[in-house]
């Protein structure tokens, strides 16, 4: 556990805990507001992210940006990261040992950010954070509360590129996040 961002990021940059380190161009640590109330967690970097070292800059990320913008959610106010920090070959789903090797970094990021809400983008994020028993189809759109953090599972933006009908649900789920944040802010 690192108490500051510099040490944490340094340890991720040098990480060789799993085989994903062998093919990475850049690690994709995370981006955004380090004191964000809302954190977004995806699966793992794709080709564009690996090249630039920034999460969600490819096609799926651009689609997510459009939804955020239309809903009036400022991406710069969020903290965005992934389950694994290095690109899995051919964008395959991270294997269990890879996700587990990387999860301590993510837990450390959550401790440092202290978000009130975490949006889980897709099945990999949901299962690794909330438990393997959760399925994205049944869980999306429903709040899960754990240790004082509210989790909103929703579709991964890449799923919206494959199936347009999911866009409406994604939009609805993000709207719930926006409203919940307004509700929490009104209480303080």
Query: Least distance from C-beta 82 to ligand URA, angstroms?
Result: 5
Q: Tell me if 62 sits within 8 A of 49, measured CB to CB.
A: no
Q: Which residue lies nearer to ligand URA by CB, 43 or 98? A: 43
Q: Which residue lies nearer to ligand URA by CB, 49 or 173? A: 49
Residue 10: C-alpha distances to residues 7, 42, 105, 110, 122 (Å): 5, 21, 11, 17, 28
Q: Using CA atoms, how far apart are residues 86 and 18, in angstroms rounded to an integer? A: 10
Query: Least distance from C-beta 154 to ligand URA, angstroms?
Result: 12
Beta bridge partners of 169: none
Query: Least distance from C-beta 125 to ligand URA, angstroms?
Result: 8
Q: Tell me if 166 sits within 8 A of 108, measured CB to CB.
A: no
Q: Which residue lies nearer to ligand URA by CB, 28 or 177? A: 28
Q: Is 50 exposed, middle or buried (0-12, 13-18, 19+ CB in 10 A)?
A: buried
Q: Which residue lies nearer to ligand URA by CB, 49 or 98? A: 49
Interface residue list for ligand URA (CB under 6 A): 28, 42-46, 49, 55-56, 58, 60-61, 82, 158
Query: Least distance from C-beta 148 to ligand URA, angstroms?
Result: 25
Which residue of the chain is nearest ligand URA when measured via CB? Answer: 42
């Amino acid at each position: 556990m690192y108490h500051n961002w510099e040490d944490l990021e340094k340890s991720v940059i040098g990480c060789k805990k799993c085989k994903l380190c062998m093919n990475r161009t850049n690690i994709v640590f995370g981006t955004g507001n380090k004191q964000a109330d809302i954190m977004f967690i995806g699966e793992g970097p794709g080709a564009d992210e690996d090249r630039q070292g920034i999460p969600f800059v490819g096609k799926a990320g651009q689609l997510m940006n459009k939804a955020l913008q239309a809903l009036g959610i400022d991406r710069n106010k969020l903290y965005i990261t992934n389950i694994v920090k290095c690109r899995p070959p051919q964008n395959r789903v991270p294997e269990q040992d890879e996700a587990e090797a990387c999860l301590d970094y993510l837990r450390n990021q959550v401790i440092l950010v202290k978000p009130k809400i975490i949006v889980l983008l897709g099945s990999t994020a949901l299962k690794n954070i909330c438990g393997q028993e959760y399925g994205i189809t049944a869980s999306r759109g429903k709040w899960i509360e754990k240790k004082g953090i509210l989790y909103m599972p929703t579709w991964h933006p890449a799923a919206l590129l494959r199936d347009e009908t999911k866009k409406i649900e994604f939009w609805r789920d993000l709207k719930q996040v926006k409203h919940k944040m307004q509700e929490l802010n009104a209480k303080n």
